[in-house]
C-alpha cells in the first residue's frame, strides 16, 4: 500500500498499433489509451473537457488529439489545451509497458 496510486493493466501492447488509440477503463474511469507514431504511449481522460465527446472518436496526429465535436485540441505530453474552445486542460496519466502489458497509473481517489 502506498499513496502514489495504482498501476492498472488496461491493454495488450500488441493490440494497439502505432498511431492508434482506443477507449479503456481503469478503476471506474473512462480513459483513452494512445500508441503514438514515435512508439511512446500516453493515456488521458477520454471525455473532452469542453463538452461531452469521446476523444477516441476524434483524430490523433503525432502527440495531438483533436476532439470530434468542436475540433478542440490537446497536447498529450502534458494535457495542455491548445486554444479555443478548450478552457481546461486534459488530465493525463503515466503509462508503463511491461512485456505485452500496458499499465496506467491511477492516482489515489
Cβ 74 vs Cβ 62: under 8 Å = no
Contact flag: residue 77 with ligand FES (CB under 6 A)? no
- The contact mask relative to ligand FES for 5-44 (x = CB under 6 A, - = no) is ----------------------------------------
Q: Look at residues 18, 35, 51 and name the one whose alpha carbon lies nearest to residue 43.
A: 35
Contact flag: residue 64 with ligand FES (CB under 6 A)? no
Closest approach, Cβ 79 to ligand FES, in A, equals 14
Q: Which residues have a Cβ under 8 Å from the Cβ of 20 and sit 6 or more positions away? A: 34, 35, 60
Q: Which cell numbers in the block locate residue 102?
A: 500496458
Interatomic CA distance for residues 94 and 97, integer angstroms? 10
Q: Which is nearer to ligand FES, 47 or 97 (CB)?
A: 47
Contact flag: residue 85 with ligand FES (CB under 6 A)? yes
Binding residues for ligand FES (CB under 6 A): 48, 50-51, 53, 67, 69-70, 72, 85
Amino acid at each position: 500500500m502506498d499513496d502514489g496510486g495504482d498501476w492498472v493493466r488496461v491493454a495488450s501492447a500488441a493490440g494497439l498499433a502505432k498511431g492508434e488509440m482506443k477507449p479503456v477503463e481503469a478503476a471506474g474511469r473512462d480513459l483513452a489509451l494512445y500508441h503514438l507514431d514515435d512508439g511512446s504511449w500516453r493515456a488521458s481522460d477520454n471525455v473532452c473537457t469542453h463538452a461531452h465527446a469521446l476523444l477516441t472518436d476524434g483524430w490523433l496526429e503525432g502527440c495531438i488529439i483533436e476532439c470530434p465535436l468542436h475540433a478542440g485540441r490537446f497536447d498529450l505530453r502534458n494535457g495542455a489545451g491548445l486554444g479555443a474552445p478548450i478552457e481546461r486542460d486534459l488530465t493525463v496519466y503515466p503509462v508503463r509497458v511491461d512485456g505485452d502489458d500496458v499499465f496506467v497509473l491511477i492516482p489515489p481517489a
